[in-house]
């Protein structure tokens, strides 16, 4: 099993998971210029989660992460937050941890007052697209910095009040 903890964006395990994600995405896209817009940071990502295995008595092994970045009202009717840096280490894929992190992100989004959760993934990530669709996310038009990106695919889930 695993635990899911709220951590600072610059937490050591969070940074290591994001670095692993970056390596994987750079490999899939063949370059490091596949993300339009501003890079997420501790300044604009107030919620960041890290899932760790419970295989060691102290901290466990970090296996998954994800964060939330609030979006301004100019992009959507109502309040929206964007999922950022959702990642699961290859050895943990298929375990259910991704869905657990996503549900926890949605709970935090509701606590922040968000009416919807949106996200961007890429055309070279069919596994991510299948995951989000299976988890109840609906494809939407590309928004914000992704509007003109042919590599981007965007999704949303309207939260229950």
Per-residue pLDDT of the chain (161 residues; tens, 9 = 90+): 999 999 999 999 999 999 999 999 999 999 888 788 889 999 999 999 999 999 776 679 999 999 999 997 767 777 999 999 999 999 999 999 999 999 999 999 999 999 999 999 999 999 999 999 999 999 999 999 999 999 999 999 999 87
**pTM (2 decimals)?**
0.94
Spatial neighbors of 103 by CB under 8 A, at least 6 apart, are: none
CA-to-CA distance for 54 and 10, rounded, in angstroms?
Answer: 22
Owning domain of residue 42: 2-158
Q: What is the CATH number for 18?
A: 3.40.630.30
pLDDT attached to residue 57: 64
Name the domain count of the chain: 1
The CA angle 128-47-148, to the nearest 5 degrees, is 50
């Amino acid at each position: 099993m695993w635990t899911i903890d709220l951590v600072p964006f610059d937490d050591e395990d969070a940074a290591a998971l994001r670095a692993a994600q970056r390596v994987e995405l750079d490999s899939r896209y063949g370059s490091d210029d596949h993300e339009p817009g501003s890079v997420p940071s501790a300044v604009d990502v107030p919620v960041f989660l890290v899932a760790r295995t419970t295989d060691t008595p102290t901290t466990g092994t970090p296996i998954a992460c994800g964060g939330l970045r609030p979006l301004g009202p100019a992009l959507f009717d109502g309040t929206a937050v964007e999922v950022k840096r959702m990642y699961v280490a290859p050895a943990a894929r298929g375990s259910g941890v991704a869905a657990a992190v996503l549900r926890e992100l949605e709970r935090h989004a509701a606590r922040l007052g968000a009416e919807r959760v949106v996200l961007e993934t890429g055309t070279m990530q069919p596994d991510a697209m299948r995951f989000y669709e299976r988890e109840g996310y609906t494809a939407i038009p590309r928004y914000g910095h992704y509007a003109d990106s042919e590599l981007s695919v965007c999704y949303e889930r309207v939260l229950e009040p």
